[in-house]
Structure 1
Amino acid sequence: MKIVCIAWGSLIWEPGPLKLASGWQPDGPSLPLEFVRDSDDSAELALVLHAPAPAMPTRWARLDTDDLEHAREMLREREKIRPEYPQWVGSLPDRAPPGSGAPTPPAIVASIAGWMATRDVDAAVWTALPAKFAGVSERAPSPHEAIALLASLQGDERAKAEQYVRRIPQDIRTLYRGVIEERLGWTPQP
């Protein structure tokens, strides 16, 4: 079974426990992405799937496993997703237990399935963390709130948040990224 991981953020430069069988390819499915998740373990504002946002390019890499459950577990571990939230690791075919919560929106799943049909791929996994702001899951910050959060950071926290935004691939041009560049000067790294 040929299994791929779809990525758009720090997985690209820090795959961690993900065992990759290929490098990251630039022609992943176009998916709605935005900087709307206040990270659980750092001060960054993470780029996540966000259905209201415009579709952006993603990356993909083949995983060094032919077992979908192992692929899901590698991604869960890398993203530090607690076991009680299996729906936050998206996959096709879907392997999240029934009743485990809100899955990836059907339109996004359909987009990934359509992309898979054009590739020699049997399965895919991706991070399906929801928006989160001020401790409230599924609440997206406004652009103003996002800028206020990032601008309030100091020292190492600010440096890490800036590095995260700047390392996101240049072709991912979200609304919030444009505002972050304009207000904070955090432009993409070449």
Structure 2
Amino acid sequence: MNIVCIAWGSLLWKPGPLKLASGWHPGGPLLPLEFARDSDDSAELALVLCPGVPLVPTYWAYVDAPDLDTARAMLAAREKITPGHPESIGSIPAIDGAPVQQEIAAWLRGRRIDAAIWTALPPKFAGVGGRMPSAEEAVGLLSRLSGETRAAAEFYLRRTPPHIDTRYRRLVEARLGWRPLREAAVTCPA
């Protein structure tokens, strides 16, 4: 079974327990992404799926897993998602009637790929799941950080590939000067 992971954020440079069978390739599906999830265990404002925002490019890589359940479990472990929240890992084929990300379904059509997985966490702000911060709230959160916490949040945003160009990212760049790192380009196999 050919299984791919669709990614856009820190998975690109820190896959952790997600075993990949290839490097990351550009040309993944265009998805509605924004820096809109404050993390429970770090200071970053993570890039997540946000219905209604402009579509941006993503990456894809083959996953080294014999089946979809194993691939989903690896991604859940990497994202620290507990078994009680299977909806936080998206997949095609979907499990248990979970909604399908239509942009990914359309991207898979016509390719010789059997299945796809992705992180399906929603926006979250000020401890409220599903709450999309305003652009001002997002920049305000990042601007109030200091020390190592600020450095970690800045690294996450700056390390994200530059062509993942969102409204909030442009505002952070303008206000905080956090421009993409030169090494932010994803290295793909030849």
TM-score normalised according to structure 2 size: 0.93
Measure how far apart 1:66 and its partner are. Answer: 2.6
Shift in Å, 1:120: 1.5
Task: Compute the displacement of 1:83 (Å).
Answer: 1.2
Unpaired runs of at least 5, structure 2? 183-190
2:152 corresponds in structure 1 to 160
Q: Separation in 2 of the partners of 1:119 and 1:41?
A: 37
- 2:22 alignment partner, SS class: coil
Which residue of the partner structure matches residue 176 of structure 1?
Answer: 168
Q: Counterpart of 2:181?
A: 189
For residues 51-102 of structure 1, what are the alpha-carbon distances to aligned partners after superposition, in whole Å with 9 as ceiling and x for unaligned? 111100000000011300000000000000111110000000002x35xxxx
> Partner of 2:113 in structure 1?
121
Q: TM-score, normalised by structure 1?
A: 0.93
The amino acid across from 1:45 in the alignment is L
Give % identity: 59
Superposed, 1:1-80 pairs within 5 Å as 1-80=1-80
Equivalent positions of 1:64-143 (< 5 A) are 64-95=64-95, 97-98=96-97, 103-104=98-99, 109-143=101-135
**What are structure 1's unaligned runs of at least 5 residues?**
none
The corresponding residue for 1:146 is 138
CA deviations on 1:35-65 (whole Å, 9 max, x unpaired) are 0000111011000000111100000000011
Amino acid at match of 2:150: R
Per-residue Cα deviation, 1:119-141 (whole angstroms, up to 9, x for no partner): 22000000000100000000011
Deviation at 1:118, TM superposition (A): 3.1
- Quick one: distance in 1 between partners of 2:110 and 2:27? 11
Deviation at 1:117, TM superposition (A): 1.3
Q: What SS does the corresponding residue of 1:33 show, helix, strand or coil?
A: strand
4+ aligned runs moved over 4 Å, structure 1: none
Cα RMSD (Å): 1.0
How many residue pairs align between the two structures?
A: 182
